[in-house]
Amino acid sequence: MTHHFKIEQEATLPASPEQVWDAIATGPGIDSWFMGRSEVEPREGGTAAMDIGGNREEAVVTAFEPGKHFATRTATAEDGRFMAFEYLIEGRAGGSTVLRIVHSGLLGDDWQDEYDALRRGWPFHLHTLREYLAHFPGRAGVPVFAMAPTGEQPAQGVRAALTRALSLPTTVAVAARAHAEPAGLPPLGGEVTWSDDERIKVRTDDGLYTFHHLPGAVLMFHHLFGPDTNGAEAAWQQWLTGLLAGHP
């Protein structure tokens, strides 16, 4: 049985409507703050695609008004499920912009857990968008994704291993300093800008780094703005695999 849902979010962002549009309605812009790798065909009726870890999902662009209104909708599955995203942009005095997001659709049998995950995720994603627009305006980020299963390891132990590897205390607070030295990459050194029971986000001079631990897996969604990102995804995958094996 399917269940309808709607999530509405609003944020005031430190950017012009044009900058916000580029961030939410172009492939390079979405790559700089959201999940996976994105492509957007810039027209109503075009294709918007997102690839996360080799899983590609396509949607149709249902609204395309530059600087004002962008929307997409996936195809309806056999059981009726679909996802729709709508972004409404409004400029404000002083150079800021209000972005309103409506995420709606139909979810399947496990709708409650999925809905809760989506509802918890949007404030985090909007925070990442704000960080991108405030600290890396006009720059296109390279998305990095890594995932590793945690098996039977308890969540508390996984969290502890992650915080140790980032040189953070067990209780991670915003503004704490993180440090890691993944093999094959420059040392990571930066400030925690988000911490909750599932996620830790670190901002450095050249990137936004997200470490997301769930029951059964740890995910990483990084956005890198430095001059040399070749090999970054493989290096972070190696770091994560080593972390869960006890030797990051």
pLDDT digits (tens, 9 = 90+) for 93-114: 888 999 999 999 998 877 888 8
Instruction: Record the pTM.
Output: 0.94
Would you place residue 247 in the very low, low, confident or very high pLDDT band (cuts 50, 70, 90)?
A: low
pLDDT digits (tens, 9 = 90+) for 192-206: 999 999 999 999 999
Report the amino acid identity of residue 215: P
What are the distances in angstroms from CA 223 to CA 72, 95, 144, 150? Answer: 23, 25, 6, 23
pLDDT digits (tens, 9 = 90+) for 69-85: 999 999 999 888 999 99
Find tokens 């205390």 and name the residue: 169
**209 or 184, which is more confident:** 209
pLDDT > 90: percent of the chain = 81
Average pLDDT over residues 171-184: 95
Q: Is the pLDDT of residue 34 over 90?
A: yes
- Residues 45-48: contacts with CB under 8 Å, at least 24 apart: 48/72
Would you place residue 242 in the very low, low, confident or very high pLDDT band (cuts 50, 70, 90)?
A: very high
The whole-number pLDDT of residue 43 equals 98
Would you place residue 152 in the very low, low, confident or very high pLDDT band (cuts 50, 70, 90)?
A: confident
The whole-number pLDDT of residue 32 equals 98
- b/e per residue 124-154 (b: at least 16 CB within 10 A): bbbbbbbbbbebbeeeebbbbbbbbebeeee
- The CATH code of domain 142-245 reads 3.30.530.20
Domain coordinates of the chain in residue numbers? 3-135, 142-245
CA dist 56 and 201 (Å) reads 25
Question: In the CATH hierarchy, which fold is given to the domain comprising 3-135?
Answer: Alpha-D-Glucose-1,6-Bisphosphate; Chain A, domain 4 (3.30.530)
Would you place residue 248 in the very low, low, confident or very high pLDDT band (cuts 50, 70, 90)?
A: low
